[in-house]
Amino acid sequence: MIKNNNILQLSALIIFLLFSGIAISQNQKQKALETRRQELRREIQKITELRSQGKSKERSELSLIEDFNYKIGVLSNLVKVTNQQANLLTREINANQKQITVLRDELKQLKEDYAAMIVKSYKSKNEQSRIMFLLSSDGFKQAYKRLQYLKQYSDHQKEQGETIKAKTVELQAVNTNLLKQKENKEKLIAENKEVQKSLEKERAQHNDLMKSIQKNLNLYATQIKQKQREAAKIDRQIDAIIKAAIAASRKKAGTPKTVSKSSFSLTAEEKVLASNFISNKGKLPWPVEKGLVKVRFGDQPSPIDRSIIINSKGVRIATEKGAEARAVFNGEVSEIVRIKNANIIVMVRHGNYITAYANLAKVFVKKGDKVSTKQALGEVYTSHLNGDTILRFTVYKDSQPQNPASWIYKM
């Protein structure tokens, strides 16, 4: 019986380790999914807040379409993540049910073994029987061994009793966890239904607006191209300023003409600053305290006319009225640019890296100022026509634009 019980305990240990490994892995996945779900919920809250700020203004169709596209994307991701959580919970519930079955079978066997042991112990409980068992020994050595056996048997009884208690507690814990998982799954399913309703509503409004736009598509296409030309003009101005700064740094350092002309010549201090900037890649703070990326880096089709490709050398971030643009890292204000028919641009140099903050209404710094991470540089301009508050943010390595999403934390 003891041998069978050892085999049972070994089997239970293997099963426990298997379930524990699966449980740890699934728990990590569940935590990651929950973190992502909460991030998406916060994004939806930001969208709602930004929309409510602009309700009093007559917003452009392009701005509204961008809003719809962004929210539809976030809602779709939220549905996807919530489905993944529900599916993972289903697998966890199934695993727990299997574990409950194993624990019940193990508990049943332990109780049967314990009952048989108790019956046997009762039959030999009488003190006289124990004495006779010891006195009938052939010698002292055998009597000692029999005494040890009686002690071991008694200890084993206690151990079995404790094991039954522990298994009972474990089974109760698994049952409690199972009920909690089922409750969480029901909540996720209910929430997902509400999110899907919101998604369908947003898509319907988006489709209605697109139908209205299609009636006069040429007019909107012209407006988009005009905005593209304005953005390209600002990009050219920034490019020219950076190239001039590179040339000045090379001249000051006496860099030979044979060395590439597209890179800054750095002092020892600037090299350290650039190295620190690189080491913080992916961890830099956002250039505004609260914001949503409305237009991402690189070539992308226009949300209104997909035949028109928008070239974005940075990102456009929607933020709240009165928001301040802030430095994403320590550096020096290398230029404050005022372009005709455009708002102010502040450029901050971090060694051979430059960050540019465009569409500012006010500036709090001047050229040559040393700035620190998260220091306010100026106030982002809010359009009097549609109420949009958009910061145009770019990152350059020498004169080459970089994807800000690779540098800014969770962009």
215-230 per-position pLDDT tens digit: 888 888 888 888 889 8
| Residue 232 placed within a domain | yes
pLDDT higher at 404 or 139: 404
Q: Are residues 195 and 243 part of one domain? A: no
pLDDT of residue 2: 47
Same domain, 319 and 360: yes
User: What is the tally of structural domains in the chain?
Assistant: 2
Predicted confidence band at 149 (pLDDT cuts at 50, 70, 90)?
low
Q: Which of 182, 214, 246 is the last residue of a domain?
A: 214
* pLDDT-wise least confident of 29-43, 54-68, 140-154, 168-182: 140-154
Q: What is the rounded CA–CA span in Å between residue 292 and residue 46?
A: 8
**What is the average pLDDT across 15-27?**
61
Look at residue 204 and tell me whether its pLDDT is greater than 60: yes
What is the pLDDT averaged over residues 232-251?
A: 93
What is the pLDDT confidence band of residue 128, given thresholds at 50, 70 and 90? very low
Q: Are both 137 and 271 inside the same structural domain?
A: no
Question: CATH code at 353?
Answer: 2.70.70.10
Residues 187 and 258 in one domain: no
Residue 383: pLDDT over 70: yes
Average pLDDT in the chain: 84
CA distance 28 to 333: 43
pLDDT at position 405 over 80: yes
Query: How many whole angstroms separate alpha carbon 273 and alpha carbon 350?
Result: 6
* pLDDT of 382 strictly over 70: yes
Q: Do residue 180 and residue 47 come from a single domain?
A: yes
In a domain, 148, yes or no: yes
Residue 248 belongs to some domain of the structure: yes
Buried b vs exposed e over 122-150: b needs ≥16 C-beta within 10 Å? Answer: eeeeeeeeeeeeeeeeeeeeeeeebeeee
Q: 17 pLDDT exceeds 70? A: no
Q: Specify whether 203 is located in the same domain as 332.
A: no
pLDDT tens per residue across span 269-278? 999 999 999 9
Q: Both 252 and 200 in a single domain?
A: no
Res. 256 pLDDT band, cuts 50 70 90: confident
Half-sphere exposure of 278 (CA within 13 A, CB side): 10
> What is the reported pLDDT for 122?
56
Q: Are residues 135 and 238 in the same domain?
A: no
> What are the tens digits of pLDDT across the range 323-369?
999 999 999 999 999 987 779 999 999 999 999 999 999 999 999 99
At position 138, the amino acid (one-letter code) is D
- pLDDT band, very low/low/confident/very high, at 25 (cuts 50, 70, 90): confident
* Residues 280, 353 within the same domain: yes
Give domain status of residue 219, yes or no: no
In-domain check, residue 249:
yes
Q: What is the mean pLDDT of residues 40-58?
A: 76
What are the tens digits of pLDDT across the range 279-328? 999 999 999 999 999 999 999 998 888 888 999 999 999 999 999 999 99
Task: Let me know whether 189 and 271 are in one domain.
Answer: no
State whether 49 and 174 are in the same domain.
yes
The verdict on residue 220 lying in a domain is no
On whether residue 260 sits in a domain, the answer given is: yes
How does residue 172 score in pLDDT terms, banded at 50, 70 and 90? Answer: confident
**Of 1-15, 50-64, 297-311, which range is least confident?**
1-15
**Is 411 a member of any domain?**
no
Domain boundary (186, 214, 242) is at 214
- Residue 243 CB: number of other CB atoms within 10 A? 14
Q: Which two tokens stand for residue 408?
A: 């800014």
Q: What percent of the chain has pLDDT over 90?
A: 45
pTM recorded for the entire structure: 0.70
Query: Average pLDDT, stretch 243-258?
Result: 88
In DSSP terms, which residues pair with 360 in a beta bridge? Answer: 344, 380
Domain that holds residue 141: 2-214
Looking at the structure, do residues 341 and 278 belong to the same domain, yes or no? yes
Q: Which of 193, 214, 235 is the last residue of a domain?
A: 214
The set of residues, in sequence order, having a beta carbon less than 8 Å from that of 1 and lying 6+ positions away, is: 113, 116, 117
